[in-house]
Amino acid sequence: MQERLRLAQARQHAVATAASEVVIAAVATAVPEHAIDQSEFLQLTLRVAPEFRRFEQLFANTGIERRYTAVPPAWMMQDHGWVERNAVFAEVAPRLIETVARDCAETAGIDVRNIDAVVVASTTGIAVPSLDARLANRLGLKPEVERLPLFGLGCAGGVTGLARAAGLARSNPGRNVLFVAVELCTINCRIGDRRMANFISAALFGDGAAGVLLRSLEPGETRAGRALLGATGEHMWPMTEDVMGWSIEPDGFGVVISPEIPRFARDKLRPALEGFLAREGLGLADLDGIVLHPGGRKVLESAEQALGVPRETFKHAWDVLGDYGNMSSPTVLFVLERTMAGQPRGRQLLTAFGPGFTVSFAMLDFG
């Protein structure tokens, strides 16, 4: 027994020793061509669903000024079925992720044929072959490229997907792993659904894509000023499947979004975060910044209350929410892009809530 334990510990040590440090080589973002002014879209919505006029202040109070969509706003005010909605997804999503993938490769100064693995997170459409295969063909990636499609992570997909990509990168020094997240939330706007949750969804969600190129360092290779991606983790609260997600309806995905989400952020975020940090031997005081997914105004305000931080802490999150709305999984990477443009220092925590109900974490070290 003792010998087996010794060998197991030795193997674990060998794996840990062989694991490479992973750095962020590039971040890129993209949005589709149609812009939605929040006030104009409110009036368009109320013409179709006038019974919500007494709730129109909800639109004004979102903190959102504009969003972007894969379809003209008038398209969302018409009836569509699964075939029409998914046809848009199959056309636009690959185009957006190709854009961010090429931008990442150019910024990192590598040829796309040197990408060793691709991870794609998306929850707003269905594609088989999956988006990673379509992206590989559009980019001309090598036939040996590893692919990992992720579905169902929702808003948390930007952090959880990045963690999965980091796992692939760490397995072999010198690997380039591309992670992309793309969501076309607006193609799932269903005008026949007159529930309050659908009205709130129409006020919040936009479309976009983001990419992160990760590099696992070879022996002797330096970080060269690049952010180091460290520990990752998740916390899922039991029996909370009805807090956030999709329902399957005859004409498309139906939004599931509980009014309890801000309360969850206020009451549950801090204990979950402190548990994650404690496992890494850290506390809240050891963080130099937090890169938070802006799920909405109330979620941001609740997170500020939970963590006892001023509004300025989440400045980039507030700005992204105002300029793009909640794009689900890519949104936190839009916040990361703006954070990195400000040349941050020290430990930055990347975090997002998602279906499950769950919160995902990733530590970034900017030196």
Contact predicate 131/122, CB 8 Å: yes
Residue 17 has pLDDT above 60, yes or no: no
How far apart are alpha carbons 216 and 233 in whole angstroms? 19
The span from the CA of 63 to the CA of 204, in Å, is 9
pLDDT at 259: 86
Calculate mean pLDDT across residues 7-30. Answer: 68
> Which pLDDT score is estimated for 11?
42
Rounded to a whole number, what is the largest CA-CA distance in the chain?
74
- pLDDT over threshold 50, residue 149: yes
DSSP labels, 303-337: HHHHHT--GGGGHHHHHHHHHH-B-STTHHHHHHH
CA atoms within 13 A on the CB side of 153: 26
Cβ–Cβ under 8 Å, residues 252 and 52: no
Q: Which of 146, 142, 116, 108 is nearest to 130 (CA)?
A: 146
pLDDT for residue 18 is more than 70? no
Of 104, 155, 185, 189, the catalytic one is 155
Find out whether 100 and 138 touch, Cβ atoms under 8 Å: no
155 classed as catalytic: yes
Residue carrying the six token digits 């046809």: 87
Q: What is the three-class DSSP state of 90? A: helix
Least confident piece of the model among 87-91, 96-100, 262-266: 262-266
Which tokens go with 25?
Answer: 């080589």
- Is pLDDT above 50 for 122? yes
Residue scoring higher pLDDT (211 or 12): 211
Indicate the pLDDT class of residue 15, thresholds 50, 70 and 90.
very low
User: What's residue 357's pLDDT?
Assistant: 93
Can you give the pLDDT at residue 19? 65
The pLDDT value recorded for residue 253 is 93
At residue 267, φ and ψ (nearest 5 deg) are -95, -25
- pLDDT one-digit tens code per residue, 163-183: 999 999 998 899 999 999 999
Q: Assign 208 to helix, strand or coil.
A: strand
**How much is the pLDDT for 69?**
96
| pLDDT higher than 70, residue 5 | no
pLDDT at 35 over 80: yes
Instruction: Let me know: does 191 contact 52? Beta carbons within 8 Å.
Output: no
Contacts with 359 (C-beta within 8 Å, 6 or more apart), sequence order: 156, 234, 235, 268, 269, 272, 273, 351, 352, 353
Q: What pLDDT, on a 0 to 100 scale, did the predictor assign at position 53?
A: 87
- 325: nearest Cα among 156, 194, 202: 202
263-302 per-position pLDDT tens digit = 888 999 999 999 999 999 999 999 999 999 999 999 999 9
CB-side exposure of 246: number of CA atoms within 13 Å? 20
Contacts of 266 (CB under 8 A, 6+ apart): 302, 303, 305, 306
Q: Which token pair is 260?
A: 């309890």
Q: How much is the pLDDT for 191? A: 86
- Tell me if the pTM is above 0.75: yes
How many angstroms separate the Cα of 231 from the Cα of each of 207, 234, 286? 29, 11, 14
Q: How long, in residues, is the chain?
A: 367
Structure token digits, residue 258: 């509980």
Question: What ranges make up the beta strands (E) of 217-346?
Answer: 228-236, 244-249, 252-257, 289-292
Q: Would you place residue 323 in the very low, low, confident or very high pLDDT band (cuts 50, 70, 90)?
A: very high
* 12 pLDDT more than 50: no
Across the chain, mean pLDDT equals: 91
Percent of the chain with pLDDT over 90: 76
Give the helix/strand (H/E) hosting 36.
Answer: strand 34-37
> Is pLDDT larger for residue 316 or for residue 202?
316
The 10s digit of each residue's pLDDT in 341-354 is 999 999 999 999 99
